[in-house]
Amino acid sequence: MKIAERHNLKLVKELYSDNDFQLNLLEDDNLKLFLSCSSYKPQGTVYFETTVRLLCEFIIEKITLQDLFDNSPSLFVEIVGEFKRAIYSRNDTDIILTNGRKLAHQIIDKELIKISA
């Protein structure tokens, strides 16, 4: 099982960023997909693994950002705060994402994600 640690990840695409919230698509050396986004509780930036299926369900608005996170294959996630960096077990910690209850169109500009046949 892969822990999403930010030092092992490369940015694929910045999906959204402002002063209060950021959402990035990342990949590791094995081309596994990860997301980083702002978390409300614990406060910071959370890094977690995702799958193509989950990412597509989010993009076509079948699930919210929080649902995407809650169904992540990552049991352990890294959260980087202003003064602290820690690995959390999703089984032991309620992690609430900033904008977690929103659908993709409420967060991401549709022009950033192009789906081609």
- Interval 18-51: pLDDT, tens: 888 999 999 998 899 999 999 999 999 999 999 9
What would the pLDDT profile of 71-108 be if each residue is shown by its tens digit? 999 899 999 998 899 999 999 999 999 999 999 989 88
Domain ranges of the chain: 6-111
Contacts 24+ apart (CB under 8 A), 105-111: 105/61, 107/15, 107/16, 107/21, 107/23, 107/65, 108/15, 108/16, 108/23, 109/16
Both structure tokens of 70: 């809650």
Q: State the first-to-last Cα distance of the chain, in angstroms, to the nearest integer.
A: 32
Query: CA-to-CA distance for 5 and 76, rounded, in angstroms?
Result: 10
Residue keyed to tokens 């910690």: 93
Is 33 in a helix, a strand, or coil? strand
